[in-house]
Amino acid sequence: MAFEFTDSNFEEKVLKSDQIAVVDFWAQWCGPCRAIAPIIEELSTEYEGSVLIGKVDVDANKELPMQYSIRSIPTILILKGGEVLEKHVGSITKQALQSKIDSHLS
């Protein structure tokens, strides 16, 4: 199951981690966000132990979207060691997201 990132746990779970993190910025009312939710869930299971995959509800967490200049959702960030490696705005297929994740694992 995808991890629930919040303004309060993001620094410890993502920024201070050596692990690659995939962060999906989403909202309940966003259709494209709901469309990619099953992909995020599947990948969180498939990459469990090697990549931390989770979501940030932009309605419940106001600091993180501002900090990362999130203007459209869904937006997916791939981070490692506090650094944004990649940013994708909009819908994405499972294969395309897997390819992005895998490119940072090698």
Which residues form the catalytic set? 30, 33
Residues 6+ apart with CB under 8 A from 82: 14, 15, 16
20-26 sheet: strands from edge to edge: 3-5, 51-57, 20-26, 75-80, 83-89
Nearest to 74 by CA among 37, 24, 14: 24
Q: Which residues face 84 on adjacent strands? A: 79
Q: Which residues face 106 on adjacent strands? A: none
